[in-house]
Amino acid sequence: MENKEDFKRGNVQGLILFQKLEDFMLYFEPIVERFPTREKSALCAAIKRRMYHALETIIITNRSKQKLPGWYSVDTDLEILRFYVRFSYKRKYLCSRSYANTSKLLLELGRIVGGLINKKDK
């Protein structure tokens, strides 16, 4: 996925973040699809919208000259996703193993975004 042009533009970390979020979505979306039918139009839709929004923001920010506001927006999306995951677990829509794996993936994404924010703050 990464090529020489990406290295020249300095977008490698953004591309890593994109790939990690895509991997997270491929893992978590089938789990969300198994939530109870009554949650399909509310919680499931909110989770999916938030994942897609984060992905779109990464793409836009990666192309932008002013990256810091975009990284903060992605960080906010991840925090909201963390809430949805905790809420889903408390409502027993997620088993403990799925909750642990999902939380671990979100933590990794958060660390990458935090690194991008700290890099741009300096």
Q: Where are the domains of the chain?
A: 4-121
Model's pTM, two decimal places? Answer: 0.85
- The Cα 95–Cα 77 span in angstroms is 23
As a CATH number, domain 4-121 is 1.20.1440.60
- The Cα 9–Cα 2 span in angstroms is 11
Q: What percent of the chain has pLDDT over 70?
A: 86
**For residue 9, pLDDT beyond 80:** no
Give the DSSP letter of residue 35: S
Give the pLDDT mean for 91-109.
Answer: 96
Token pair, residue 40, equals 């399909």
Q: How far is CA 23 from the centre of its chain?
A: 9
Residue 12: what pLDDT? 56
